Structure 1
Amino acid sequence: MAEEDFIYRISTEQEWEEFQKNGSSFGAEIDKSTCYYHLSKLDQVQLTLKNFFLNVKEDLYLLQVDPKKLGDGLIYEAVDEVNSFPHFYGPEKTFVPLPLDSVVKAEKLTFTNGNFTCSFLT
């Protein structure tokens, strides 16, 4: 699979630790309040980081997720005229946690010269 065939989750250090400890995560408060897991396509990651994560004080990780492992619980939804984002609801919109076995790779993000970087973001 090419990099653009994956979807991505921006996770805090606390959430990434939850994944590793429990084998899954229900995500952040925004995920719990909307009852779906917020994800991004690769070309949306920088914008998402800049819009929602600039003031986060803990370390951030970018998780590369295999969409084939999420089944029909993954839905792409338009948020404006240009962007549709992947949202993971779980089977039949039951809001199950995102499983760790769907995560292919995880990398710690660094913030340098006004941009977030890791090997996924070249």
Structure 2
Amino acid sequence: MPHPTIAYKVLTAEQWTRFQQDGQFTGAPVDLADGYIHLSTAEQVDETVAKHFAGQSGLVIAAVNLAALGDAVRWEPSRGGALFPHIHATLPLSALIVHAPLEWLDGEGVRLPE
């Protein structure tokens, strides 16, 4: 089964502002510590938000065009062996398809931007 061509990055308001100003995103603290930018597929984003962003407000979710990043994207095992998309490069603003304030819908999870 081929990998999805779209993945998602959750950003704090400060990270999103800096991303827009710089035109690129070098990573959140966890990304910098791990040496790559963590992304989640549509199926993984609810768990990512629940695990790493619970209780935070002002979050932004951005859809990333993985095809635009070429070989910088690697699918690597993480939680329970599931493959997650990781970017081993800077994420350019031009690779974003769409972004929106992150909304958590009770009983439905994260509303993905369209």
Using structure 2 for the length normalisation, give the TM-score: 0.85
Note closer, same or farther for the CA distance 1:18–1:105 as it changes in structure 2 (3 Å cut): same
Partner of 1:39: 39
Letter aligned with residue 30 of structure 2: I
1:25-55 CA distances to partner (integer Å, 9 max, x unpaired)?
A: 1121001111100001110000100011003
What code does the residue aligned with 1:88 have? I
Q: Which residue pairs with 1:106 in the alignment? A: 99
Which residue in the other structure is 1:94 paired with?
none
Quote the Cα distance in structure 1 between the aligned partners of 2:26 and 2:15: 9
Cα distance in 1 for residues equivalent to 2:9 and 2:110:
14
Q: Report the Cα distance in structure 1 between the residues aligned to 2:85 and 2:73, rounded to whole angstroms.
A: 7
Using structure 1 for the length normalisation, give the TM-score.
0.80
Tell me the percent identity.
Answer: 28
Runs of 4+ in 1 over 3 A off after TM superposition: 111-117
1:53 and 2:60 aligned = no
How many pairs were matched up?
111
Q: Deviations over 1:39-74 (max 9, x none)?
A: 011100001000110033x41111000001111011
- TM-aligned CA deviation for residue 81 of structure 1: 4.6
How far did 1:16 drift?
0.9
Letter in 1 for 2:21: K
Conserved 8 A contact 1:39-1:85: yes
Q: Which runs of 5+ in 1 are unaligned?
A: 91-96
Distance 1:60 1:42, change over 3 A: same
